[in-house]
Amino acid sequence: MSNAKREFLESLLKKGETYGGLLLGKNGEPDQHIVLLPGEAQAVNWDDAMKFAAKAGGELPTRREQALLFANLPEEFTPNWYWSGEQRGSGSAWFQFFTLGDQDWSLTSLKCRARAVRRSVAI
């Protein structure tokens, strides 16, 4: 690893965090560095997954962020469904399968896993 990359990661990451990658901004939004926070919730509905992420100091990842995490950090996830922070409509939300990379939606009462992320605007 180059010195510049090491210095960058040391300035960005806190203890236990893992760098997920750079998510390019769309429609004028800034590019963002995605950081995967430590810890995982198991068998939680969507509301409890949202609470878990907030308590961890982050948010549930968006669908785009989950795709980035699947591409860059599949080893950080068990082969299971993980909630995203995106609702599909009233009473339903999106999730990602961290085996094949599929994304789908279900009722928010379904029990899935959850991981939290935080974002840092890329300069």
Task: Show the domains of the chain with their CATH numbers.
Answer: 38-116 (3.10.100.10)
Give tens-digit pLDDT for 97-116: 999 999 999 999 999 999 99
pLDDT of residue 106: 97
Is the Cβ–Cβ distance between 32 and 23 less than 8 Å? yes
Q: How far is CA 106 from CA 14, 46, 83, 96, in A?
A: 33, 10, 10, 11
Q: Is the pLDDT of residue 123 over 90?
A: no
